Amino acid sequence: MRIWNELMIREHPQGAGPLVGCQLRYLITSEHGWLGGFAFSAAALRLRDRDQWIGWDTDTLGQHLHRILGMSRFLLRTSMHCHNLASLVLGMVLRRVGIDFHTQYGYSPWLVESFVDTEHFLGTCYKAANWTAIGQTQGRGRQDRERKGAKSIKTIYIYAIESAWRVKMGVAEPVGLQPLEVAEGLDADQWSAHEFGGANLGDSRLNERLVTSAQALGAMPGRTLSGAVKGDWPAVKGYYRMIDKPDDSALTAQAILAPHRMRTIQRMMGQSTVLCIQDGTDLNYTPLDQCQGLGVLYKNQTGAKTRGLHLHSTFAVSAEGLPLGVLGAQFSAPEPKSEPDTRPAASIPIDEKKTFAWIKGLRECVEVSGQIPDTHQVCVMDREADFFELFDEQRKTGKVDLLVRSKHDRTLDDEGHHLFESVRSSPVCAEMEISVPRQSARTKKSKQQAKAGHVQRKARVALRYLDIELRPCAYQKDKEPIKLRVVHVQEITKPEEDEPVEWFLLTTCDVSSPEQAQQILRWYCLRWRIEDWHRVLKSGCNIEKLQHKTAERLKRTIAINLVIAWRIMLLTLLGRQCPELAAEVLFSDIEIKVLRTNLKKN
């Protein structure tokens, strides 16, 4: 206590106290000596912005105020210079303060509050340690009975020790969404509570089981739950009881994804531009002969069927390429066209076609646009989405832009001019270098075609752009043409042993300058993020090795793994793009210890 008091008296602006209520004090030590200290005591009696954010009334405040712990002192000595030390020690103390407080006083705090004087500090370490800024103080201290407001105004930060604190307090979520930082809530101990907590599964026990199961699976991706929990039989039994609920129960893939989807929207809210990348992938479950509800993905020449599910997803990424989350996931069990159905493709309504999934994904983005009006959404899609009905759907609202790689060399006018040649003959507006991702070669098998591969390489491309009118197809002649912009991307020199890049990118975005054309190309190059995510799902999480008796149960397990794969991918990209980020923000102490041990061996 003497050392703590001396440090605070000499080096902290507020001195050593006095503190009020239940208290804990910590010293930060190292081989270099004392680095600083913490103090925790009673929370503020009244804080307008905090109380509004929590949403409690006077009675609830009186019952649960003791569950909020105030971080009254946080000192790092100015003589110490160590990168990311502040966020490191913040994470360390938050992982143990709840346990220490319960040992000392017999109950656990649910929230920790702290204040940052933004005239002197930026609060960067709080953001890095996943605290949430919720408002400002009024400049009044605990003893300001005359309401003079003589103290400086500070930013209020909150950290949730208990993820289900709102449920335990009996207060509802605040009205309106709050934006989230991309890495907020990703720490190893809390991420599953943030991304799955609050799911409406029809039973609060199922909600808790979902959080704990996702936490275990996320720690060991690709393993069965039994392997992830190291044979903990009650945990295994509880997990499979949850997954094996009847197919008509409230436990659906969409209900599991709902909390993550909401946090994805909050992460989107913090971005000026978000790319909503759509794509589909087939999940092969042919070995599951007894599994009910699977569809036929394709048949070979001998009639042998590949059974499984088709997953069509909307994956949100920032304009810099950081994954923000899974905005939508559509599962389908495709069935071949029945023999009695002799309708030509043109006469089949669009909502009965496989391509309708692209329109549903666009509608989801339009629905979300009402919640994030200040965020520009661009739906990025590959050649399968090149059909007139999709662009016709977009112009109904115009709230979400499209960026689609063209597949069809359409006729543009009555004189017979075609899209591809018209754009090729327009002048080059710019040149730039892009990265062409690698593609693994695939040999021909009984149920799939061969595919040539190529290594990752750099390509120098020329850009052109042109305004066009997309004419309706023959069976939709009553529709008006749609005005679009096309950006042409063509590799300047032919590469060895590979096809040169040539893309025709149709977009509803404004393209009236070379800089805008370059931006469109950069956005489209980020479409491969969803391909990488599919690879993590299949190779990292091994979702095609799942075994369940019904397709509905498969969907539930896949839904959990969709979020796990997103987190793995985001952690990987954060490590590349933000190498200065403290490891303690995202990994537990034991994970860091294992990584350091492995690094020393290598």
Q: At what angle do helices 253-269 and 551-577 cross, to 10 degrees?
A: 20
pLDDT of residue 576 exceeding 80? no
* Superfamily for the 383-437+455-526 domain: Transposase Inhibitor Protein From Tn5; Chain A, domain 1 (3.90.350.10)
pLDDT of residue 299: 81
- Could you tell me the pLDDT band of residue 364, with boundaries at 50, 70 and 90? very high
The CATH class of 2-175 is alpha beta
Residue found by looking up tokens 């690709």 in the block: 222
pLDDT of residue 138: 73
* Cα gap 167→171, rounded to integer Å: 7
* Cα gap 73→400, rounded to integer Å: 47
Reading the block at residue 237, the tokens are 């039994």
pLDDT of residue 124 exceeding 80? no
pLDDT of residue 258 exceeding 60? yes
Q: What is the pLDDT of residues 35-76, one digit of tens each?
A: 999 999 999 988 888 888 888 888 889 899 999 999 999 999
Mean of all residue pLDDT scores within the chain: 87
- Could you tell me the pLDDT band of residue 303, with boundaries at 50, 70 and 90? confident
Distances (CA, A) of 446 to 302, 443, 545: 9, 10, 20
Q: Span 289-309, mean pLDDT?
A: 88
Q: Span 115-141, mean pLDDT?
A: 76
pLDDT of residue 109: 94
Reading the block at residue 63, the tokens are 């019952």
Q: Span 106-119, mean pLDDT?
A: 88
pLDDT of residue 175: 55
Q: Span 484-502, mean pLDDT?
A: 89
Q: Span 546-557, mean pLDDT?
A: 95
* Cα gap 504→409, rounded to integer Å: 10
Least confident of 2-6, 106-110, 340-344: 340-344
Residue found by looking up tokens 């666009």 in the block: 362
Reading the block at residue 370, the tokens are 């009402």
pLDDT of residue 559: 97
Domain ranges of the chain: 2-175, 383-437+455-526
Q: Span 485-489, mean pLDDT?
A: 96
pLDDT of residue 84 exceeding 90? no
Q: What is the pLDDT of residues 198-254, one digit of tens each?
A: 788 888 788 889 999 999 999 888 888 888 888 888 899 999 999 999 988 889 999
Report CA 500 to chain centroid distance, whole Å: 33
Q: In terms of DSSP H, where are the helices of 270-418?
A: 356-369, 388-394
Reading the block at residue 386, the tokens are 């090149």
pLDDT of residue 447: 47
pLDDT of residue 435: 86
Nearest to 312 by CA among 275, 274, 357: 357
**DSSP code for 538:** I
Q: What is the pLDDT of residues 161-188, one digit of tens each?
A: 988 888 888 887 665 667 888 888 887 7
Q: Span 4-16, mean pLDDT?
A: 90
